[in-house]
Structure 1
Amino acid sequence: MRVDAITLKQLRALLAVAETGSLTGAADLLHQTPPTIHSQIKNLEGAVGEALLERAKDGTGFHPTTAGQEMLAAAHRIEANLSHAERQILALAEGRRGHVVLGTVSTAKYFVPRLVRLLQDRIPDVEISLRVANRSEVIQALGRGEYDLAIMGRPPRSVIHRAIPLGPHPHGIVLPPDHPLAQEDGYAPHRLMQETFLSREEGSGTRILMERFIERLGEGQSPKKVEMPSNETIKQAVLAGLGIAFLSLHTVHDELEAGRLALLRGRDLPVMRHWYLITGAADGEEVPPATQLCAREIDALSGAYLPQFKT
């Protein structure tokens, strides 16, 4: 048996004869001539080394031999595999399959896992890899093309293909429930400047927003700041009474709901910002279909994955 001599045209001719029972019927089905079908069958039988078709006893048509039945089974499997490949390639072209790298600032890690879970339900054949970093690192990764999409607060001025608003992003000052300022309906700016602010590292979007808030409020005064590497560390430090913190309220939703942390009320609080979905693409580079689909699905969710916080 010369497998390398078998062609798809030959197998399809065999399938057509088995379906119609005749060379003429197979020719009509495949839009070919009966001699062409006959030639394809003979060449296939020569490659296999066995007769694949035999005439019916009443002479009305053809039916497969035992060897022919084996080749028909193989031909059906090949056609099924080709159909599957066609569907997969079409899905890739339409973005229904593929791989998307989603980068997020560390503040977003409190809700992005839920977003990824929702996306798995909506586009199950698109594989999503999640990357978490601070704002400056996310922007750099977008510029290098390492992230297909990114979720952050204020959009960067560079490496933007498109910035899609996702929903509100409130920020506020949190403190221990027994802190004197927690018992007040407002605050005096000079009094707030006497507190120790527990702060994220340089490059953090929360740090940038905190410094702008203090600059507007402090009128030249600057409070003491203690830098810490993560929101979790800051929350624990606030609970321990080491200071107060300006944080995204989405990072402290559970602690506020449980009463383990309190929210400062008063002038210019909470500070309202928005979450954005950033699609990064190099100059002249098209956004892959899977990335476009993922972005559309995230947009369609309308922020359903964001913590619900009453301010």
Structure 2
Amino acid sequence: MNFVRSLTLRQLQIFVICTRCPSFARAAEELHLTQPAVSMQIKQLEDAAGLSLFERVARRLTLTEAGERLSHHANRILGEIKDAEDAMMSLTQADSGSIAVSIVSSATYFAPKLLALYSQQFPKVDVHFSVGNRETLLRHLQDNATDLAIMGRPPPELGTTAEPLATHPHVIIAPLSHPLRHAQRFDLHELAHDTFLLREPGSGTRAVTEHVFKQNLFVPSRSVTLGSNETIKQAVMAGMGVSLVSLHTLGLELRTGEIAVLDVNGTPVERTWQLVHSRSKQLSPTCLAFRRFLLEHAAPFLEDEYASYVPRRVKNVADAGVVR
């Protein structure tokens, strides 16, 4: 125990260099020290260990049994320190490490593609992402279980920093057989007799839908709650009803012409994708680099992917209460 307490990193470094040299004089040259200085450090190390570490055989330094054992441990210790230095350096350079990202389910249609682009640039960074509705993401932020969250509406009830990532249009979709499929600029009330398919309470899409209904003094004759965007899309294509959904969930269906976007007054409803993190969280250099990547690439990526599907006339209600 006394040996460990008196041991210094510098002594280990000098000792390891000496094990590779034929003499203290040669070790001193490599270390840019005087020979007496090297000899003194080795003598202090031997005194602390209570054992001789070197002996001379045919005018050459040779390790004793104690020196052989200490050499093994010294190299391991210095190797671990080097690994730690490399790890810290890589973090400051943001080219390795790990990131935890939480995304709302509507973002699963584009976020993995952005993550793939990021991974091509930073293959050593390990990105973990989890998916849930808005309430789930709020718990992750509150519990400090995530570094960054991608959502539609930042939580005013939590101490967070939110940055706009990209525009996020919502449109009303219908089956191809819907009688108003080709109608232009009609009011929402024309859909009063349709069944509206809604996301579950706690979903950001559900909150947008309820806001639009309230803003238009609209009450559908019937509504059905479904638990996912995929279920809603399948139900709409099957003719069960209509729904207000994120345009960014519709890439495949619009490309294949399997679903209709209705030209309803006040749509698309523009929200904004937000990149959110807790104000109290110290983001690592890796997280900061990932944040910059998303802020720079998300909007152009979504523009390229979905611009041709956005209706020409846009009603922006991003600052009207719940939709932000």
- Structure 2 length-normalised TM: 0.77
Say whether the 8 Å CA contact 2:109–2:248 is kept in structure 1.
yes
* Corresponding position of 2:250: 252
* Corresponding position of 1:119: 118
Say whether the 8 Å CA contact 1:160–1:278 is kept in structure 2.
no
Look up the equivalent residue of 1:229 and give its one-letter code.
G
* 1:265 correspondence with 2:266: no
What CA deviation, in whole Å up to 9, does each residue of 1:123-144 have, x standing for no partner?
A: 3333222111111221232122
Return the offset for 1:84: 2.6
* Corresponding position of 1:173: 172
The SS at the match of 1:83 is: helix
Return the offset for 1:73: 8.9
* Corresponding position of 1:26: 27
For residues 136 and 70 of structure 1, do their structure 2 counterparts lie closer, same or farther at Cα, with a shift above 3 Å needed?
closer
What CA deviation, in whole Å up to 9, does each residue of 1:182-223 have, x standing for no partner?
A: 122232433222211101111111111112222333x45444
For residues 153 and 72 of structure 1, do their structure 2 counterparts lie closer, same or farther at Cα, with a shift above 3 Å needed?
same
- Counterpart of 1:232 (choices 230, 233, 236) is 230
* Corresponding position of 2:296: 300
Mapped to 2, the partners of 1:288 and 1:224 lie a distance apart of 49
Map 1:41-52 → 2, pairs under 5 A: 41=42, 51=54
The SS at the match of 1:272 is: strand
Structure 2 gap segments, 5+ residues each: 311-324
What CA deviation, in whole Å up to 9, does each residue of 1:145-171 have, x standing for no partner?
A: 222210011222133432122212111
Mapped to 1, the partners of 2:257 and 2:55 lie a distance apart of 80
Map 1:53-92 → 2, pairs under 5 A: 54=57, 79-92=78-91
Return the offset for 1:176: 0.9
* Corresponding position of 1:144: 143
* Corresponding position of 1:183: 182
Mapped to 1, the partners of 2:106 and 2:89 lie a distance apart of 37
Map 1:146-225 → 2, pairs under 5 A: 146-217=145-216, 219=217, 221-225=219-223
Mapped to 2, the partners of 1:195 and 1:220 lie a distance apart of 12
* Corresponding position of 1:99: 98
Say whether the 8 Å CA contact 1:174–1:245 is kept in structure 2.
yes
* Corresponding position of 1:243: 241
Mapped to 2, the partners of 1:204 and 1:248 lie a distance apart of 12
Look up the equivalent residue of 1:245 and give its one-letter code.
S
Mapped to 1, the partners of 2:268 and 2:300 lie a distance apart of 21
**Paired positions, count:** 301
Mapped to 1, the partners of 2:158 and 2:301 lie a distance apart of 26
- Structure 1 length-normalised TM: 0.80
Structure 1 gap segments, 5+ residues each: 57-61
Aligned-pair identity (%):
33
Look up the equivalent residue of 1:195 and give its one-letter code.
D
Look up the equivalent residue of 1:249 and give its one-letter code.
L
Moved more, 297-306 or 266-275: 297-306
Mapped to 2, the partners of 1:40 and 1:189 lie a distance apart of 85
Return the offset for 1:254: 0.7
Mapped to 2, the partners of 1:35 and 1:144 lie a distance apart of 58
Look up the equivalent residue of 1:175 and give its one-letter code.
A
For residues 187 and 94 of structure 1, do their structure 2 counterparts lie closer, same or farther at Cα, with a shift above 3 Å needed?
same
Mapped to 1, the partners of 2:123 and 2:159 lie a distance apart of 27
For residues 22 and 51 of structure 1, do their structure 2 counterparts lie closer, same or farther at Cα, with a shift above 3 Å needed?
closer
The SS at the match of 1:101 is: strand
The SS at the match of 1:286 is: coil
Mapped to 2, the partners of 1:297 and 1:24 lie a distance apart of 53
Say whether the 8 Å CA contact 2:102–2:131 is kept in structure 1.
yes
How large is the Cα RMSD of the aligned pairs? 3.4
